[in-house]
Structure formats: structure tokens, C-alpha cells
Amino acid sequence: MTASDKRFLISAPGKVILFGEHAVVHKKLAVAASLGLRTYLDVAENTSGQCHLKLPDVQVDTTWSLSELDIAVERELLEQQHPSDMPDKLKQQLETLMGETTSVAQKQAVMAFLYLFILLKNNNKGDNFGLTIRARSTLPVGAGLGSSASFSTALATALLMVFGHLPESFATSEEKDNAWLEIINRYAFKAEQVIHGNPSGVDNAVATFGGALSFRRGEGFSQLEGCQSLRLLLTNTKVPRSTSALVAGVGAKKTKYPAVVDPMLDAIDGISLQCVQVFKQLQAGEMDTHQVTSELEELVDMNHCLLHGLGVSHPSLETVRSVTEAHGVKTKLTGAGGGGCAVSIIRDDISEETLDAVTKELQSHGYDCYQTSLGGVGASASILSNVQDEAWIESADRHTLEKLIAHP
């Protein structure tokens, strides 16, 4: 395969907080899992001598000559520093390359790309090397589903592969070497730092490793053993909310009513711990998938009720709960609450007809619904054939793209 026809489809999943929202701020355990909804990057090497970046979700369509991007940097220093501490000269050079932007999201995405490109590029590609990266996402942006971490992880994977820091076999191996994933996660976190300043690292870890992770503030994260893919209905109420205001509200309740709120936070901690135990029992053969789903439904119900008691639900989220409950489907808010998204566990015995009826009723309220999965693969790459061109990538439906990821 020559440089002129080498093309990859790189992708990484979004994430959902399954259990432990708000309690995690107070050093309680939380559980996050990957989604079937993903960011996809169509990566094509060519001989144009140019770099073309196209990110439709944030209206970016920019081309640079490769000579413009040939900036000398002290890589070891950049590796050790937070991106915000980059030398002033480099920051000015990157801002000049970025040019005019019309939104914060544009600026963050382009700066993350330029920073990783400068950090990872090498001189092994020759004078005629060119690169085109086009993004397509099935994740809603700004919905608390880890869309920026999904992009950061896919971007890190793409540039690591392009510049030979990851082997091409990453795209053909069904089992991903953990050492490869650790490298991807490191650079995905760098991109997240460019975008968010001081992210927790959880979102990019879920996007990189997939499956589910448990995490406690100040203690890092652990992969959940035994996590298997589960069906999920994700509902975006599209009601805007302020995460900081909601977090502050819970903190104020904790200060005013410690004897009431502390046990509620402890109960949420217990729910997360029980989730970890459930998946361990599944792995050990002590529970089957049906039993796991049934127990997760109970945990979902209890967790939402506790969050409601903490004051972070919203009438739109209660509407989602009411609609799904009428059809025997358990739902909880996910993320900050106060609007945003809700997550529903779909048992195997829930028919497609029932699911369609639930979806139509929720859509009648103006909500967006996504039938997807929980706990799937993390960062992934596939080698594209000649027929899988730009037009094919843009027109392929979500399920076609997901099958390509499942069977590289």
C-alpha cells in the first residue's frame, strides 16, 4: 500500500456516567462506560504536500502546507509540560496557524489538532507527504457524553499511526495491545488538556480503553472486569443546564443538611460498588446476563431517586422516566442532570415494537433518542478499501460504520 492510497477509519466512543454522578465530587465511587455512539476520522495519506482538516460539527475546513507545520519544538519539554505552559513563541505560532475562529469549540478543536501534530510529527514522511483528516460523529456535541474526549482520542490515534508511533497492525488486530492503548490515552489526555484545561482524564480513558471504568476522586480509575455490551436507550432532552450550578447546589445541601445528605451520597457510593460487584460475578459465572440486567435496573432506579432527592433532576428528565416506566423500562439521569441526557437499560425481552413506541413518544416531546450500546470497544482503526471513499463515509449509516469497527 503506497502513501497515495493509504486510508484508515479511526474511531473512539463517547461515554456515559452509569452510576455516581455528583457523589463523585465528594470522593464517592462512580462508574462510566463507553457508548456505541462514536467519533470517526477518515484519515488519508497522499502526496499533496498539504494538510487538510475538515470538522463539520464545528464548521472547520482548513488547509495548511506541510512546510507551515514544520515547527521545531523541544518534544521532551512538551511531553512533561501542561499544554498551557508551552513557550510563548510556540503558542503564538500555533495561534497564527489557527487563524480566525468563530467559536470556542472551533478554537479548541483546531488548537488540539495543531498541538498534537507538532508534538508527534517526524521527518520520515518525505517532502511530498500530504494528509487529509475528515471527521464524522454520531455523538451529540455538548450533551455531556464525552464528545471532546472521543474526538481527542480518535485524533491521537490517527496522528500516532500516521507518524509511525503505532504500528499499522493496530488497524488489523482484533485484540489491541494494552501498551498501544496506554500511548493513545497519554496523547488523548494532552488534547483534552488543550480543550478543557484540567480534565479528570476519565472521559479519554473510557474513549481509549472502552468497556467500563470505576473511579474515585484522587485515586485514579480501574477497568471493570466482566463488563459486557448491553443495549441502551439514550435520550437527550436538549434542556441546557449549568454543571457548576448543579454541583454547587448539592454542596450547599450537604453543608445545610449533613445528617441527611451524607447518607444519600454514601448510598450512591454503595450503588457504584454494587455495580462493580455485579460485573465481577458475571465474569465468574455466578450471574447470567439476564440477572445482571435485572440488578442494574434496580440500581438505576435507586440512583435516580437519590439524585432527584439531591435536587439535580428536572421535569424533562421526569417525563422521560414516566414514559419509559409505562413500558417497563428503567431510566436515570446521566451526568450533571438539570436537563441534559437520560439513560435507559433495555432488557433482552423488550421488543423492537416497544422500543419504537417509547422512542416515538419521547420524540413527540421534542427529545432526541439514540438506540445504542453500553460498554463496547474503545479506540479502533480499520483499513479502508478503494470503494470506501469520502462519499461512502459521509453516506454510510451508523450501523454500517459500527460493523466496520467491530470487524476490522
User: In the annotation, is 203 catalytic?
Assistant: yes
Grid cell locating 317: 428528565
What region does 397 belong to: left with phi over 0, alpha with psi -120 to 50, or beta? beta
Tell me how far apart the alpha carbons of residues 11 and 380 are, in angstroms, rounded to a whole number.
Answer: 5
Tell me how far apart the alpha carbons of residues 150 and 34 are, in angstroms, rounded to a whole number.
Answer: 10
The DSSP letter of residue 49 is S
User: Cell numbers 484522587 label which residue?
Assistant: 218
Q: For residue 281, count CB atoms less than 10 angstroms from its CB and return exposed for 0-12, middle for 13-18, buried for 19 or more.
A: middle
User: Cell numbers 455523538 label which residue?
Assistant: 139
Q: Which residues, at least 6 apart from 72, have a Cβ–Cβ distance to it below 8 Å? A: none
CA dihedral sign, ordered 137, 154, 202, 279: positive
Cβ contact 134:7 at 8 Å:
no
Q: Kindly name the residue from 11, 150, 152, 203 that is annotated as catalytic.
A: 203
Q: Kindly name the residue from 147, 148, 150, 382 that is annotated as catalytic.
A: 148
Tell me how far apart the alpha carbons of residues 137 and 13 are, in angstroms, rounded to a whole number.
Answer: 10
User: Cell numbers 497522499 label which residue?
Assistant: 46
Cβ contact 307:337 at 8 Å:
yes
CA dihedral sign, ordered 213, 216, 217, 220: negative
Tell me how far apart the alpha carbons of residues 42 and 40 are, in angstroms, rounded to a whole number.
Answer: 7
CA Rg value for the chain: 22
Residues annotated as catalytic are 148, 203
